[in-house]
Amino acid sequence: MKVLFIGDVVGSPGRQGLREAMPALRERHGPDLVIVNGENSAGGVGITERTANDFFDLGVDVITTGNHVYRHREAYEFLDSEQRVIRPANYPQANPGRGHTVVEVDGMRVRVVNLSGAVGLRVARSPFDTVDSILSHHEQDAVIVDFHAEVTSEKVAMGWHLDGRVAAVLGTHTHVPTADGRVLPGGTAFISDVGMTGSRTSVLGVKPEQALRSLITHMPTRFETAEDDVWVMGGLVEVNQQGLADSFEQVMQPVQ
């Protein structure tokens, strides 16, 4: 089973770029399961029912999110009702949405888990304790984890913590692809961050001049999504019948 995981899609340029790139991605990689992180899909911050449906129209199977998931209040009811969209499992349990979901792929029950890092981000529970609880209380044939975290040390630690127990731990949130993608000794595919799907002529998806103005002046600045030089970034994991990874391939494709 091949799992194509796409990193943080930023705004309409990211959504349009993924739309244009998806036929070539499917032809080249032949994925059986497509997962997209969509927490920046609505105007560069948050997710809405409309932007989620854009992904579903492309054949995306599961959408993960992160710390901006609740930016648009009108999405709360949708998060409760749509089982294919998940938010960090270590958020307060009463919050809208769910932290993991199961999809059937080639006769395998694949659980997709969304976690938030605790270092530099607000969570209700430890991501380590949360994922341990999920794995011990649910049955599945394979598990894919989107770890939406701020610091690489916490991400690397999660990879080692879950090595041999899940098929993949794929980092998101920082929007910059890292060079540590591999399959760990126990059979878990890992990368600290798969990168973002959006403009590379930007500061993490924001127009450079606006990000610079904010950083230099420390004054409130309205951010707009950058549009030039859009790339699709992510990772491809080949999962075997034992629910572990045979291979990991980094995906970095410019949109022509």
How high is the pLDDT of residue 31?
Answer: 98
pLDDT tens digits, one per residue of 108-161: 999 999 999 999 999 999 999 999 999 999 999 999 999 999 999 999 999 999
Q: What are the residue ranges of helices labelled H in 58-185?
A: 76-81, 127-137, 152-162
Q: What CATH class does 2-254 carry?
A: alpha beta
Q: Where are the chain's structural domains? A: 2-254
Among residues 68, 72, 100, 173, which one is catalytic?
68
Strand partners, 142: 110
What is the pLDDT of the chain when averaged over all its residues? 96
How high is the pLDDT of residue 56?
Answer: 98
In angstroms, rounded to a whole number, what is the distance separating the alpha carbons of residues 218 and 156?
32
Rg of the chain over Cα atoms, rounded to whole angstroms, equals: 17
Q: Is 68 a catalytic residue?
A: yes
| Strand locations in the chain (E) | 2-6, 33-37, 62-64, 100-105, 108-116, 142-148, 168-172, 182-183, 189-191, 198-199, 230-239, 245-254
Residue 96 token pair: 């809208």
In angstroms, rounded to a whole number, what is the distance separating the alpha carbons of residues 252 and 181?
13
Q: Which whole number is the average pLDDT over 52-57?
A: 97
| Tally: H helices and E strands in the chain | 6, 12
How high is the pLDDT of residue 119?
Answer: 97
How high is the pLDDT of residue 183?
Answer: 98
Separation in Å, CA 222 to CA 69, 72, 179: 19, 17, 32
Q: pTM of the full predicted structure?
A: 0.96
Query: pLDDT confidence of 256, banded at 50, 70, 90?
Result: confident
pLDDT of 190 higher than 90:
yes
β-strands 142-148, 168-172 pairing: parallel
Strand partners, 254: 231
How high is the pLDDT of residue 55?
Answer: 97
